[in-house]
Amino acid sequence: MKLTRLRLHGFKSFVDQSDFLIEPGLTGIVGPNGCGKSNLVEGLRWVMGESSHKTLRAAEMDDVIFAGSKERPARNVAEVGLTLDNSAHEAPQPWTAEETLEVARRVERGKGSSYRINGREVRARDVQILFADASTGARSPSLVRQGQVGEIINAKPEARRRVLEEAAGIAGLHVRRHEAELRLRSAEQNLLRVEDVVGRLT
Protein backbone atom coordinates (compact mmCIF):
# COMPACT_ATOMS: atom_id res chain seq x y z
CA MET A 1 0.00 0.00 0.00
CA LYS A 2 1.39 3.39 -0.98
CA LEU A 3 0.91 6.56 1.04
CA THR A 4 -0.40 9.15 -1.42
CA ARG A 5 -1.56 12.17 0.59
CA LEU A 6 -1.14 13.63 4.06
CA ARG A 7 -3.68 16.17 5.29
CA LEU A 8 -2.96 18.18 8.45
CA HIS A 9 -5.48 20.55 10.03
CA GLY A 10 -4.87 22.24 13.38
CA PHE A 11 -1.96 19.86 14.06
CA LYS A 12 1.00 21.67 15.73
CA SER A 13 2.07 24.57 13.47
CA PHE A 14 -0.34 23.56 10.64
CA VAL A 15 -3.25 25.76 11.76
CA ASP A 16 -4.97 25.85 8.34
CA GLN A 17 -5.58 22.70 6.38
CA SER A 18 -2.42 21.66 4.50
CA ASP A 19 -2.36 18.87 1.94
CA PHE A 20 0.85 17.11 0.96
CA LEU A 21 0.72 14.96 -2.13
CA ILE A 22 3.20 12.10 -2.02
CA GLU A 23 4.06 11.47 -5.66
CA PRO A 24 5.78 8.30 -6.92
CA GLY A 25 9.56 8.49 -6.44
CA LEU A 26 11.47 10.42 -3.85
CA THR A 27 9.74 13.21 -1.90
CA GLY A 28 11.86 15.82 -0.16
CA ILE A 29 10.61 18.39 2.36
CA VAL A 30 12.85 21.42 2.57
CA GLY A 31 12.48 24.68 4.46
CA PRO A 32 14.13 26.96 7.01
CA ASN A 33 14.62 25.95 10.65
CA GLY A 34 11.36 25.86 12.58
CA CYS A 35 9.09 25.84 9.51
CA GLY A 36 7.44 22.55 10.50
CA LYS A 37 9.36 19.74 8.73
CA SER A 38 9.52 17.58 11.87
CA ASN A 39 5.89 18.45 12.74
CA LEU A 40 4.87 16.96 9.41
CA VAL A 41 6.64 13.65 10.11
CA GLU A 42 5.13 13.69 13.62
CA GLY A 43 1.68 14.14 12.01
CA LEU A 44 2.40 11.00 10.00
CA ARG A 45 3.38 9.05 13.15
CA TRP A 46 0.36 10.40 15.03
CA VAL A 47 -2.20 9.34 12.43
CA MET A 48 -0.59 5.90 12.38
CA GLY A 49 -1.40 5.58 16.09
CA GLU A 50 1.54 7.01 18.03
CA SER A 51 0.45 6.96 21.68
CA SER A 52 3.54 8.46 23.32
CA HIS A 53 3.34 12.26 23.52
CA LYS A 54 7.09 12.34 24.23
CA THR A 55 7.83 10.84 20.79
CA LEU A 56 5.86 13.78 19.38
CA ARG A 57 7.81 16.33 21.46
CA ALA A 58 4.64 17.22 23.37
CA ALA A 59 4.20 17.55 27.17
CA GLU A 60 0.78 15.89 26.80
CA MET A 61 -1.26 14.63 23.86
CA ASP A 62 -3.42 17.79 23.64
CA ASP A 63 -0.23 19.75 22.90
CA VAL A 64 -0.32 18.45 19.33
CA ILE A 65 -3.25 20.87 18.79
CA PHE A 66 -2.29 24.31 17.39
CA ALA A 67 -1.50 26.35 20.52
CA GLY A 68 -2.01 29.81 19.01
CA SER A 69 0.38 32.50 17.82
CA LYS A 70 0.53 36.33 17.85
CA GLU A 71 -1.86 36.45 14.92
CA ARG A 72 -4.04 33.37 15.43
CA PRO A 73 -5.98 32.06 18.45
CA ALA A 74 -5.40 28.48 19.64
CA ARG A 75 -7.59 25.75 18.18
CA ASN A 76 -9.46 23.05 20.09
CA VAL A 77 -9.31 20.34 17.47
CA ALA A 78 -6.55 18.77 15.39
CA GLU A 79 -7.05 16.27 12.61
CA VAL A 80 -4.60 14.39 10.40
CA GLY A 81 -5.68 12.25 7.45
CA LEU A 82 -3.48 9.83 5.53
CA THR A 83 -4.61 8.50 2.16
CA LEU A 84 -3.42 5.06 1.06
CA ASP A 85 -3.56 3.57 -2.42
CA ASN A 86 -5.14 0.13 -1.96
CA SER A 87 -5.49 -0.68 -5.69
CA ALA A 88 -3.53 -3.92 -5.04
CA HIS A 89 -6.21 -4.77 -2.42
CA GLU A 90 -3.65 -5.67 0.24
CA ALA A 91 -5.52 -4.08 3.15
CA PRO A 92 -7.07 -6.54 5.63
CA GLN A 93 -10.83 -7.07 5.84
CA PRO A 94 -13.18 -5.20 5.86
CA TRP A 95 -11.26 -2.76 3.63
CA THR A 96 -9.74 -5.20 1.10
CA ALA A 97 -12.12 -4.22 -1.72
CA GLU A 98 -11.63 -0.43 -1.34
CA GLU A 99 -9.43 1.29 -3.97
CA THR A 100 -8.26 4.02 -1.58
CA LEU A 101 -8.36 4.33 2.20
CA GLU A 102 -8.27 7.48 4.27
CA VAL A 103 -7.15 6.88 7.83
CA ALA A 104 -8.02 9.90 9.97
CA ARG A 105 -7.25 10.70 13.60
CA ARG A 106 -8.89 13.60 15.40
CA VAL A 107 -8.24 14.98 18.87
CA GLU A 108 -10.38 17.44 20.76
CA ARG A 109 -8.89 19.33 23.72
CA GLY A 110 -9.71 17.44 26.95
CA LYS A 111 -11.67 14.74 25.12
CA GLY A 112 -9.04 12.37 23.73
CA SER A 113 -8.70 11.14 20.16
CA SER A 114 -10.63 8.93 17.78
CA TYR A 115 -9.87 7.17 14.51
CA ARG A 116 -11.81 6.68 11.29
CA ILE A 117 -11.09 4.67 8.17
CA ASN A 118 -13.06 5.90 5.14
CA GLY A 119 -15.38 7.76 7.50
CA ARG A 120 -16.16 4.73 9.70
CA GLU A 121 -15.10 4.90 13.36
CA VAL A 122 -12.46 2.26 14.22
CA ARG A 123 -10.26 1.29 17.17
CA ALA A 124 -6.61 2.38 17.50
CA ARG A 125 -5.74 -1.32 17.22
CA ASP A 126 -7.43 -1.60 13.79
CA VAL A 127 -5.23 1.24 12.55
CA GLN A 128 -2.12 -0.40 14.06
CA ILE A 129 -2.92 -3.71 12.34
CA LEU A 130 -3.58 -1.99 9.00
CA PHE A 131 -0.17 -0.29 9.06
CA ALA A 132 1.68 -3.28 10.54
CA ASP A 133 0.39 -5.44 7.66
CA ALA A 134 1.73 -2.79 5.27
CA SER A 135 5.12 -3.05 7.05
CA THR A 136 4.90 0.45 8.40
CA GLY A 137 3.42 2.29 11.38
CA ALA A 138 4.06 4.94 14.03
CA ARG A 139 7.12 3.08 15.39
CA SER A 140 8.28 1.80 12.02
CA PRO A 141 12.04 1.89 11.44
CA SER A 142 11.19 3.22 7.97
CA LEU A 143 10.48 6.58 9.66
CA VAL A 144 13.99 7.51 10.67
CA ARG A 145 14.38 10.05 13.46
CA GLN A 146 17.55 12.06 14.06
CA GLY A 147 20.01 9.83 15.93
CA GLN A 148 18.07 6.64 15.16
CA VAL A 149 20.71 5.03 12.94
CA GLY A 150 23.18 5.15 15.86
CA GLU A 151 20.49 3.72 18.19
CA ILE A 152 19.91 0.73 15.87
CA ILE A 153 23.65 0.02 15.66
CA ASN A 154 23.85 0.00 19.47
CA ALA A 155 20.47 -1.73 19.99
CA LYS A 156 19.98 -5.00 21.88
CA PRO A 157 19.42 -8.09 19.70
CA GLU A 158 15.62 -8.16 20.40
CA ALA A 159 15.23 -4.56 19.18
CA ARG A 160 17.22 -5.37 16.05
CA ARG A 161 15.08 -8.48 15.50
CA ARG A 162 11.97 -6.24 15.50
CA VAL A 163 13.48 -4.19 12.64
CA LEU A 164 14.12 -7.39 10.63
CA GLU A 165 10.65 -8.76 11.41
CA GLU A 166 9.06 -5.62 10.12
CA ALA A 167 11.16 -5.74 6.94
CA ALA A 168 9.98 -9.36 6.52
CA GLY A 169 6.35 -8.18 6.79
CA ILE A 170 5.42 -10.23 9.86
CA ALA A 171 4.98 -7.38 12.38
CA GLY A 172 1.17 -7.55 11.89
CA LEU A 173 1.18 -11.16 13.14
CA HIS A 174 2.59 -10.01 16.51
CA VAL A 175 -0.22 -7.46 16.93
CA ARG A 176 -2.78 -10.16 16.06
CA ARG A 177 -1.15 -12.68 18.46
CA HIS A 178 -1.29 -10.12 21.27
CA GLU A 179 -4.97 -9.47 20.55
CA ALA A 180 -5.72 -13.24 20.48
CA GLU A 181 -3.88 -13.70 23.81
CA LEU A 182 -5.97 -10.93 25.40
CA ARG A 183 -9.18 -12.60 24.15
CA LEU A 184 -7.97 -15.99 25.43
CA ARG A 185 -7.21 -14.54 28.87
CA SER A 186 -10.65 -12.92 29.04
CA ALA A 187 -12.32 -16.25 27.99
CA GLU A 188 -10.33 -18.06 30.73
CA GLN A 189 -11.55 -15.54 33.32
CA ASN A 190 -15.14 -16.04 32.13
CA LEU A 191 -14.74 -19.83 32.41
CA LEU A 192 -13.47 -19.48 36.00
CA ARG A 193 -16.50 -17.35 36.84
CA VAL A 194 -18.84 -19.94 35.27
CA GLU A 195 -17.15 -22.71 37.30
CA ASP A 196 -17.67 -20.63 40.48
CA VAL A 197 -21.36 -20.20 39.70
CA VAL A 198 -21.79 -23.89 38.83
CA GLY A 199 -19.92 -24.83 42.06
CA ARG A 200 -22.30 -22.68 44.09
CA LEU A 201 -25.40 -24.17 42.43
CA THR A 202 -24.40 -27.84 42.87
Judged by beta carbon, residue 145 or residue 178, the one nearer ligand ATP is 145
Residue 68: CB minimum distance to ligand ATP, A: 7
Binding residues for ATP: 32-39
Residue 179: CB minimum distance to ligand ATP, A: 32
CB contact at 8 A, 18 and 31? no
Judged by beta carbon, residue 38 or residue 76, the one nearer ligand ATP is 38
Judged by beta carbon, residue 39 or residue 128, the one nearer ligand ATP is 39
β-strand pairing of 100-108 with 77-85: antiparallel
Backbone dihedral angles phi then psi of residue 44, each to the nearest 5 degrees: -65, -45
Judged by beta carbon, residue 42 or residue 166, the one nearer ligand ATP is 42
Residue 56: CB minimum distance to ligand ATP, A: 9
User: Of 72, 118, 92, which Cα lies nearest the Cα of 1?
Assistant: 92
CB contact at 8 A, 122 and 102? no
CB contact at 8 A, 17 and 31? no
Q: Which residues bind ligand ATP (CB under 6 A)?
A: 12-13, 31, 33-39, 63, 65-67
Residue 32 CA, chain-centre distance (Å), reads 27
